[in-house]
Amino acid sequence: MKSWFRPKIILDGFWSFKIDRDFVGDKEEWFKGFKSSDVIYVPSSWNEQNPEWDQYTGVAWYQRDFYVDKLLEGRMAWIIFDGAGYKTSVWVNGKFVGDHEGSFTQFKFRVDEIRFGAFNRVVVRIDNTPSIYSFPPARKLNETAFDFFHYGGIHRSVYLEFVDVCHVNDMTIHTSHAGDLKADISVECNKNFDARLILMDKERTEIISEDIVRGVRPGLLRFERRYDGVKPWSPEEPNLYVFAVEIYVNGVLRDSVYERIGFRSVEVREGRVYLNGKPVFLKGFGRHEDFPVTGKYVPGSVLVRDFYLMRKIGANSFRTSHYPYSNEHLDLADEFGFMVILEPPLCYSGLDRLLSREEVAKLFSSEEYLAKAKKFIEEMIRQHKNRPSVIMYSVMNEPPSDIPEVAEAIKKLAEFFKSIDPSRPVTFASHRSVRDLALGYVDVISLNYYRGWYSEWGDIDKGVEVMINEVEEIHRRYSDKPIIITEFGADAYLGLHSDPPQMWSEEYQAELIKKYVEALTKRSYIIGLHIWNFADFRTPQNPLRTILNRKGIYTRDRQPKLAAQIVSQLFNSIPTYM
Ligand code: GCB
């Protein structure tokens, strides 16, 4: 939910910073305010802002003063974090306002201690100590179940929002490409109110329709309407509209929020994914939020470049591997017409290196663990549920799903997704291939393959042959389910050339991708190909990585490798509709 009406104080900028290596901050009551000569920039991870902080995991403190105008008195104040972590605790004027676990979703706390017409102090404690019970799990900085760098800090924007006691809490909007709209709007108000519901064009210059609904406090408003003549949202024409809700008490405007929506329908049937009634083919990437110096924060200008590059190369889709991306990132997906598979931070690629089979089975059977996973999933859906770009959910990435207890957990979580949002199909990205026990529990099968890289290395043809045989076998077993290859690729070091193509050269990467795409597009049950990865990204240190994972077809600073040219030819020749 966005609002142009609620006053805001943006807290992005320079903050005081203090690393708490010896965990003394709590005892010394740093939350009341601390002295430090270290400076840090928000939003951005702490690591690359100073080489001395680079390899640090643990507790660090942030502090900043801000002035609140007297004119805002009488409103409720919320402090909103678009993403920080892994664990965040917040104090305002020395008073604890809340804590939150998880780096990649927005969270907010009500602040009762605001001083109006005066300076206020916010202190934030971030703890990114790795843990097996974190999402995603890790033991140490360089012993993780995931192949991306474990950054820490306030990665995304922070701001205060001032809200009337009568306000919109949440809204859930469902649409169809025929112009249907259903909205559930939850309003908090101590009086009876009127809600004005307005559909506008994207620029808010033309009101398409408006309705007044009478609300009885506090209220869940249900609204249904068919808009004839609206244009559907699609990759080739990502038509967006603004759906705004205004709350009036005795004719006085008290709150106004909006969502950018698109009219579109998604369904899975007869082995296809249909968008607006037409079967689609997803061409694109697994991506990451990763950039030099800023870490887990990707500046808007870089995102814009990414979307132009992805569009030019003929892509129409990506997965938010392996955590929900920022609002800016997904706003651009809505805007550019990208079909997104939204994934929570449940990433288990290297879990078997951290835990024994028995330990994995125990973890995934724990009701407490699943309840925590559900909280992460719920938060992600709540934040992004109204986006037209999000056409599917991925329950998790690369679980050890050849273990029955893990398969059972996937089944439960897939059902959980459906219970909160039945409107979107679910999948999960599997790397267990024919040994996977959970493929039957999801609408769409997603497979990650590195044959020709981690196995059959140096022999692309053999890798492709083995991969195709396994994919064919999976199709035989689940012939009614569409299959997406959600990861395939090879590392290439920019500027390293080899004839014949050898591993790590640009030629090897380009050739492997080409042969995968050619072999897979011959199979009609394959409905999507996501290359791993769009750009190089930073990883934990280990013998398989040279600081970065180099499977990007662009470098970390978004310059093309040879593969980018080849992918452009391949993707631009595959139509969006099958
Ligand atoms: C995978 C993971 C991804 C890794 C990739 C790789 O299967 O899902 O996070 O980065 O392989 O390059 O090893």
Tell me, in angstroms, the distance from the centre of ligand 1 to residue 551's CA. 9
pLDDT of residue 17: 98
Determine the average pLDDT of the residues in 214-228: 88
Nearest ligand 1 atom, CA 431: 7
Least confident of 149-158, 219-228, 398-407, 562-571: 219-228
Tell me, in angstroms, the distance from the centre of ligand 1 to residue 349's CA. 7
Residue 452 and residue 521 in contact, taking contact as beta carbons nearer than 8 Å: no
Mean pLDDT, rounded, of the chain:
97
Give the span between the Cα atoms of 181 and 211, in whole angstroms: 13
> Is the C-beta atom of 88 inside 6 A of ligand 1?
no
pLDDT of residue 273: 98
pLDDT class for 219, splitting at 50, 70, 90? confident
Neighbours of 454 (CB within 10 A): 12
Helix (H, G, I), strand (E, B) or coil at 208: strand
Task: Check whether 417 has a pLDDT greater than 80.
Answer: yes
Q: Per-residue pLDDT tens for 78-119?
A: 999 999 999 999 999 999 999 999 999 999 999 999 999 999
pLDDT of residue 216: 77
Q: Per-residue pLDDT tens for 237-252?
A: 999 999 999 999 999 9
Task: Check whether 536 has a pLDDT greater than 80.
Answer: yes
Catalytic residue, chosen from 188, 246, 289, 487, is 487
Burial 277-316 (b: 16+ CB within 10 A, else e): eebbbbbbbbbbbbbeebbbbbeeebbeebbebbeebbbb
> Is the C-beta atom of 319 inside 6 A of ligand 1?
no
Determine the average pLDDT of the residues in 341-355: 97
507 included as an active-site residue = no
Helix (H, G, I), strand (E, B) or coil at 470: helix
**Predicted TM-score of the model (pTM):** 0.98
Neighbours of 497 (CB within 10 A): 13
Task: Check whether 351 has a pLDDT greater than 90.
Answer: yes
Contacts of 118 (CB under 8 A, 6+ apart): 67, 68
What percent of the chain lies above the pLDDT cut of 90? Answer: 99
Tell me, in angstroms, the distance from the centre of ligand 1 to residue 104's CA. 19
pLDDT of residue 217: 76
Q: Is the peptide bond before 47 cis (omega within 30 degrees of 0)?
A: no
Tell me, in angstroms, the distance from the centre of ligand 1 to residue 347's CA. 10
Q: Per-residue pLDDT tens for 421-464?
A: 999 999 999 999 999 999 999 999 999 999 999 999 999 999 99
CA-based nearest residue to 116, from 77, 81, 167, 80: 77
Task: Check whether 218 has a pLDDT greater than 90.
Answer: no
Helix 357-365 with 367-384: angle, nearest 10 deg: 60
Determine the average pLDDT of the residues in 131-150: 98
Determine the average pLDDT of the residues in 136-142: 98
pLDDT class for 215, splitting at 50, 70, 90? confident
> Is the C-beta atom of 446 inside 6 A of ligand 1?
no
358 included as an active-site residue = no
- Cα distances from 348 to residues 85, 165, 344, 406, 431, in angstroms, run 19, 42, 12, 11, 10
